[in-house]
Amino acid sequence: MISALAYTPRRGPLNESGALAASVYLGSFALVALLFSNPVVLAGAGVAVLIAGIVAHATAALRLSVKWGLALGLVLVAINGLVSQRGDTILIHGITLPPLGTLDVSAEALAEGAVLALRVVVVMMAFSVHAAAVDPDGVFRLLRPFASRSALTAALIARMVPLAAADHGRIREAAALRGPGAAPVGRAAIARRLLGGSLDRSVDVAATLELRGYARGAPRTPGRVRGSRHDLAFLGVGVTVIAVAIAARVMGFAGFDPYPTLAVATDPLSLALAAVLPLLAAAPFIHADD
């Protein structure tokens, strides 16, 4: 059983790009979602990530991230509607909750919660595409000069988690094949067996690393990383998106203020910022076909 977020080597411009170029490219759209609260700009960033994920064959990761993001988003909307006691448009008046007292729910509070939910979805989409389409070994190789032990730990975790998920699937399948007369196997028993197997594997991994000399520190001669002809295009788009987003934020474009009444900036420059994000996201793939 392979997780939808697990990296799978595939052909394609983004999949074949280096870790630095792909990380800057996808991270730029996540940065846009973190910098802006304007729902139009957030929607533009979401469409940009959607384009990147579809072309990079990461649709399963996108579906999973949207599912998790929406579930978390509903919680954010509900909590913000109850906690934020601001806004002129009262939808529900006088809800009594014993720990919090009497509360009002305003349309502005729900709108702010929806914007927070949209931001979470876009960021989760960007990182899910990164997990599914960008080689984790390349990412860890980038981090190695700065934190070799942390990079090694992250590399081991990235390898062990899919193995643990596969072990869980095999244990459940074995438990289901025991027959109708056998006692049912509960979650606690499966968790104990999974934990025991994971501990045994960790001991084997530790012994292997010690035999290879990692007890004296990680090797200092990493293999040569080959570049890709797509790196420049993705790196250029990522840097452009970051520069445009920071400049627009500093100049005050694409504003959003939910209180006391909802105010969303829809001036031509703000709309242009939202519209240019999907175009920039598609540009490296069009360049690759030329």
pLDDT in tens, the chain (290 residues): 566 777 888 888 998 899 999 999 999 999 999 999 999 999 999 999 999 999 999 999 999 999 999 999 999 999 999 988 888 899 988 888 787 788 889 999 999 999 999 999 999 999 999 989 998 888 877 877 766 666 667 667 767 777 777 888 888 888 888 777 777 778 888 888 888 888 888 888 888 877 777 666 555 555 555 667 889 999 999 999 999 999 999 999 999 999 989 999 999 999 999 999 999 999 999 865 55
Output DSSP code: residue 56. Answer: T
CA-wise closest residue to 253 among 225, 274, 280, 226: 274
Q: Which tokens go with 98?
A: 């014993």
The residue type at 98: P
Per-domain boundaries in the chain: 13-139+230-289, 148-213
Helix, coil or strand: residue 183: coil
Q: How many CB atoms lie within 10 A of CB 194?
A: 17
Angle, vertex CA 17, rays to CA 13 and CA 20, nearest 5:
145
The tokens 């997780």 sit on which residue? 3
> From the CA atom positions of the chain, what is the Rg in Å?
24
Output DSSP code: residue 226. Answer: P
The pTM for the full model equals 0.79
Q: Which tokens go with 271?
A: 């709309």
Q: Which tokens go with 45?
A: 């960033």
